Structure 1
């Protein structure tokens, strides 16, 4: 799955997180700023940035367990992003169609990230099971 990736940019989990981040920046944040919701705009920007940043940092660690830990952080940031989107929905700050599209991007990113984390976990077990010389 990820053995042949040279950079984090090739990871499907990072690509899915990026799609959500770009969507948030282009479709959600401008609406929040126009309604003077600066704090919420900042929070959702930071949370969505953290998703891809943690996946990238984990990829740079080269150890399955370290990578898994950073992916776990990314998953937390992903769900934090969803919570901020729910606040936008509850407070009627964003059009329902935008929220719906964001939820779809979230669900896709979560599914791909969970799959990548499962692969990392299996790979760590295999690596630890190999006899040492």
Structure 2
């Protein structure tokens, strides 16, 4: 990109130093997704509830870091088929993440607002999810149960 000054370029090294480092992290993502899926049916226990949200935070941070790097990198040159392919690979993992964690809202609603909010109030880390849980229970009539 001749003629571009440095102010017009993204410094993607804040995410990853190179594509190889990105590849190493993307290999870790399926294990994170499987770990989250393993909590299905177990969120009614405080320790499992907290562990799930700690694991979910780690997985989400990794997922968005991977996404930011490859999406912006592929936008630099839309003709770069390697980066475009890696972007598609990540989108498939994004989809799998959503599928494998789709049990969460129905399971929390089945537990009931009182129980879930009692978990939230017991832990400073979980208190960051208070608004999200209040919103979930406010909108619960629009959430399908786990069988649908």
* TM-score normalised by length of structure 1: 0.47
Which structure would you say has the larger RCO, counting Cα contacts within 8 Å and 6 or more residues apart? 1
- Higher percent of residues as helix: 1
* TM-score normalised by length of structure 2: 0.43
